[in-house]
A and B are shown apart, each in its own frame.
Chain A
Amino acid sequence: MLSVSGRRSFRDFDWFLALIAIMIVLFGTWQIHNAQPDESYWEKQLVGLGIAFVFMLVVSFMDYRKLIDFAPAFYVFGLVLLIVVLIPGIGMKINGQRCWIKLPGLGQFQPSEFVKIPTVLMLARFFGPPRTGPLSWREMLIGCGILGLPIALILLEPDAGQAITYFPLLAVVLFLSAVRMRLVVAACILSIFLIPAAYMVGVKTGKIKNYQQERINVILDPENADKRGYGYHTWQSIVTVGKGGLLGTRASNEFSQSKLKFLPEPHTDFIFAVTAESTGFVGCILLLLAYAILLSRLITGARRAPDRTGMLVIMAIVGGLAFQLFINIGMALGMLPVIGVPLPLMSAGLSSVLATFIAIGFAISIQLRRFVN
């Protein structure tokens, strides 16, 4: 019986999903090598992929429902990690942000990447039970509370970029938990008007500082922005992307933007610009397609989920991934201001790859149990 269930599990395992994720990471590793050929980031990324794959397998063969039961414990553990990282001596300060915990012998990891998972589980657990009517204000407030705690701790690091990536988790969960449509529409319309208005007011009152304005200006008009000051990252990223053309420079990385240090953070935040330079339009479109397939596959999985909780877990993961994808690539293409958000599966960094693979592991686990009741 066990062997039968094992065989079935093995057969139903979403190999395609895992394969796409792995291929994106391998493609990303190549780009990391292009970005920093003299550094060992790409080797570390391969090691990270191996570790992440093992974790994904482990998670996907566990029963997600049991894990959901333990969600509060995970959640609390996550919050503890976020507090621990703030303690000087344990948390490592890099570029003024204390968001890394040093693990002797293993390197470092970034709790804010992982805490997304217990947060998703916690949200799914709370909003998971079958429901009949629209969401009440109280429920929404509790949802905000679940999300607010980790965000508050992350902002203390401070890591606004990571904090932002938490919002879509709640947004997707609320949306799929029957928040009233008119609320959604109202929020959309309000933001369309309020965000520019707030920006204008901020500029007028001096609340938005010069450098922050510059980061916006370079998006609105990169040619005339301060290309050497606060607009530098965006401008160089645009140039790097544009330079790629149709097919990219491929092998001749000798004088690439990243090699000549024009492009900052090429192996992490601006990995997409590197991809664009070396593989051109063709490579970028293929990558976007791979992401689209990955996300569609996940959404399909969500549709087939055995229960609301599972569906919410997958869709929150989808929302988080899609949001990060758009923020990061939008930044690389000069459409959004520079925010330190890694590109899932592409950017160098064990924490990000591991967290993403664990999330995908959950999704696979949920699908695996679609016939079990």
Chain B
Amino acid sequence: MKFEDDSQNLRARLRILQILIVLLISVLAVRLYVLQMMKGAYYAERAENQRIRLLPIPAPRGVIFDRNGKILVDSRPIYNVILSREDVKNLDLNQFVEPFSQGLDIDPDYLRERFDQIKTQPAFESIRIKENATSADQSWVEAHQLEYPQLRVEAQPQRRYPENGTLCHVLGYVGEISPEQLEQPKYKDKGYKPGDIIGREGVEAVYDQYLRGRDGYRKVVVDSRGHIQDIIEEVAPQPGQDMVTTIDLDLQLVAEEQLRNAPQKRGAIVVMDPNNGEVLAMASAPTFDPNLFSQRITSREGRAEYNALLKDPKTPLINRTIQGLYPPGSTWKIPMSVAGLQQGAITLKNSNLLCGGGIMVGNKFTRCMGNHGTPDIVSAITHSCDGYFYRLGLKMGVDGIMQMVDEFDLNKRTGVDLPHENVSQTPNLFKPMMEKRGQPWKDIDTVYASFGQVYDFATPIAMLRAVAGVGVGGKLYIPHLLKEFKAVGEPGTPDYRAAINFKPLNSDRPNPKDIEMPEDFHHTVVQGMWGVVNNGGTAARIKMADFEIAGKTGTAQVVGLGKDVGENKDHSWFVSYAPAWKPEISAIALIENSGFGSQFGAPAVRAVYDEYYRKTRGGEPPGTQIAQANKKTLPQRSASAAQAADKRQGE
């Protein structure tokens, strides 16, 4: 100390200050040690998280073709507005509902739903809040970059389905994977993540794993405002496999047109190659527009449209071909005939049974629509004699009917490669049910069950499979829509995905299922069916001169006799294959609430055969004009007489 001032312990006080400074600096050093040495890795990760974003590059789904290479479904690039999860972490998302729903025209309820999902789905990388953003939406996002830097516009391939609902039930549609689906192991284990677009219905759903590509991604660095500063890594997406379906678009369009022109515009038509189960056409009416789900579902209008579809009493979302359960009516007589012969209830030599204009069981008379004397099996099929089959049913007994049901797989799904197929309902289901309730199965029930009413409800596809199987001599193929998935990528590389052909989804099912059916049985039944069209039977009006159709009409009773008018008319069935003796094609039509099978079902199927004839034989099909055809082929009867006969012969 250069000056005399020791009286106030100046030396000590300076020392105290010095120690204090050293202490403070030490505190800083300790804190530094904690932050950088002990928790350095943690903070490095936090810093990384806030600057690294994985932006997915959605892979285009495979294109879906018809069997002739016509494009049914493809994708086109659209733009989505997305929120990056990292950017909105810890933010109160409710503050966005109002401005986003107004600025981007999104249903506020939908936004709230989305935001709720994010809270429960931590795996969201980014949240799609608006699909198919218009250029106005994109410029809104652009213009509000300062206010809402979390918003981003991303390009994504969007599914484009045919107009007018063509094939809507077959193709199905895609949509975002739902939280429930994410819980299911079949999605969870395959690495699906929230926000993924998956097939929700139709072949899109069944073959999702082949149709979907593998998403690529861009790993980018963003700044604090979420602006991309740099791309670190880019992995290109791998497109999905293209699918060739068994559908023949020309036949499909004809089938759909037939349904559109039907009295109630409701019904189902399935066309199938009986020799392998390839479905050539599958139409169900009314239809819906699958583009609703792939393009408009996030908009206010789209959601209203969807709700309207759900509430529509005409159930347009239902695929009637595989989900509709209808009393098969007289189409039931075909498997009944085969089973009657197999089980020995009738024999080829003596197959005659009384018609009697009906049958009296107990005190109840069940009538036949005509009086056919004592027809043999061929004539009974051709003229659809109910009385004959009442008696055949009683001879077979309910056990015989149940055996038949089992043999023709009418108590099982057909195994078609579509979701939500319904199982037909038959005595095999109802009898045990009734007995459980202490309600004995009576003979009258057997009578009902023998002609396709009351205890029989079948899907069109199950009926077609059974009858087409009879047509090819007892081979029941699994109906299917997949012809081939084309290979993708270079063989030998890990990304290579080989071509795939149809395999039964349930590998336990034999394909085809063989039904024991001697040639003479087959011949007899086909002769009956041939007669339906070609020998003055119930569908004589659709006869084609050099393309012989074997078929069976059917009428499914909807309400009691007498009330069957207008919208409550019977359903009209027609099931068939052609040519009768060497089937190439089989078709079934069910026209809801229209009347007799001969009136609507048969002409609808005929229209499909006409188109098939044009495609395979060239030239116009013979006897396109039904009235003329009737005159030519049935000169002995006038057109009106033929119609009257149809009615009388009944079903």
Please, which residues of chain A bring their CB within 8 A of the CB of B32?
A: 241, 276, 281, 284-285, 288, 333
B36 and A299 within 8 A (CB):
no
Assuming the A-B contacts A246-B40, A255-B229, A262-B50, are A333 and B35 also in contact, with contact meaning beta carbons closer than 8 angstroms in the complex? yes
Assuming the A-B contacts A288-B25, A326-B24, are A318 and B35 also in contact, with contact meaning beta carbons closer than 8 angstroms in the complex? no
Q: For window 72-121 of chain B, which residues contact chain A by CB distance below 8 Å?
A: 90-91
The answer, yes or no, to whether B42 is at the interface (CB within 8 Å) is yes
C-alpha spacing A338/B126, complex, angstroms: 33
Beta-carbon contacts of A290-334 to B below 8 Å, as 1s and 0s? 011001100100111111100100010011001001100110011
A262 contact from B4, B37, B51, B91, Cβ within 8 A? B51
CB distance from A187 to the nearest CB of B (A): 14
A288 and B24 within 8 A (CB):
no
Please, which residues of chain A bring their CB within 8 A of the CB of B46?
A: 239, 242-243
B43 and A239 within 8 A (CB):
yes
Q: For window 26-52 of chain B, which residues contact chain A by CB distance below 8 Å?
A: 27-29, 31-33, 35-37, 39-44, 46-47, 50-51
The answer, yes or no, to whether A335 is at the interface (CB within 8 Å) is yes
Assuming the A-B contacts A134-B8, A257-B47, are A322 and B21 also in contact, with contact meaning beta carbons closer than 8 angstroms in the complex? yes
C-alpha spacing A334/B34, complex, angstroms: 12
Best-surrounded residue of A176, A226, A304 (most CB of chain B within 10 A): A176
Best-surrounded residue of B2, B33, B91, B230 (most CB of chain A within 10 A): B2
The answer, yes or no, to whether B354 is at the interface (CB within 8 Å) is no
C-alpha spacing A177/B5, complex, angstroms: 10
Please, which residues of chain B bring their CB within 8 A of the CB of A311?
A: 3, 10
Please, which residues of chain B bring their CB within 8 A of the CB of A118?
A: none
Please, which residues of chain A bring their CB within 8 A of the CB of B442?
A: none
B37 and A241 within 8 A (CB):
no
Query: Interface size (B, Cβ < 8 Å)?
Result: 45
The answer, yes or no, to whether B223 is at the interface (CB within 8 Å) is yes
A288 and B28 within 8 A (CB):
yes
Q: For window 236-268 of chain A, which residues contact chain B by CB distance below 8 Å?
A: 238-246, 254-255, 257, 259-262
The answer, yes or no, to whether B17 is at the interface (CB within 8 Å) is yes
Please, which residues of chain B bring their CB within 8 A of the CB of A330?
A: 28, 31
A260 contact from B28, B44, B51, Cβ within 8 A? B51
**What's the dominant secondary structure at chain B's contact region?**
helix
B13 and A243 within 8 A (CB):
no
A245 and B44 within 8 A (CB):
yes
Please, which residues of chain A bring their CB within 8 A of the CB of B10?
A: 176, 178, 311
Query: Interface size (A, Cβ < 8 Å)?
Result: 59
Please, which residues of chain A bring their CB within 8 A of the CB of B35?
A: 238, 241-242, 276, 333-334
Please, which residues of chain B bring their CB within 8 A of the CB of A305?
A: 2-3
The answer, yes or no, to whether B648 is at the interface (CB within 8 Å) is no
Assuming the A-B contacts A241-B35, A276-B36, are A307 and B91 also in contact, with contact meaning beta carbons closer than 8 angstroms in the complex? no
Chain B residue at minimum C-beta to C-beta distance from A135: B8
B44 and A307 within 8 A (CB):
no
B224 contact from A262, A302, A333, Cβ within 8 A? A262
The answer, yes or no, to whether B641 is at the interface (CB within 8 Å) is no
Q: For window 497-556 of chain B, which residues contact chain A by CB distance below 8 Å?
A: none
The answer, yes or no, to whether B14 is at the interface (CB within 8 Å) is yes
Q: What would 20 A/B residue contacts be, using CB atoms closer than 8 Å?
A: A130-B4, A130-B5, A132-B7, A175-B13, A176-B17, A228-B91, A239-B46, A240-B43, A241-B35, A242-B47, A245-B41, A260-B51, A262-B47, A276-B36, A288-B25, A303-B14, A318-B17, A319-B17, A322-B21, A335-B31
Closest 4 CB pairs of A and B: A242-B43, A178-B8, A245-B40, A260-B223
Taking Cβ atoms with an 8 Å cutoff, the residues of A that contact B are 130-132, 134, 172, 175-178, 226-228, 238-246, 254-255, 257, 259-262, 276, 280-281, 284-285, 288, 291-292, 295-296, 299, 302-308, 311, 315, 318-319, 322, 325-326, 329-330, 333-335, 370
Taking Cβ atoms with an 8 Å cutoff, the residues of B that contact A are 1-5, 7-10, 13-14, 17-18, 21-22, 24-25, 27-29, 31-33, 35-37, 39-44, 46-47, 50-51, 90-91, 221-225, 229-230
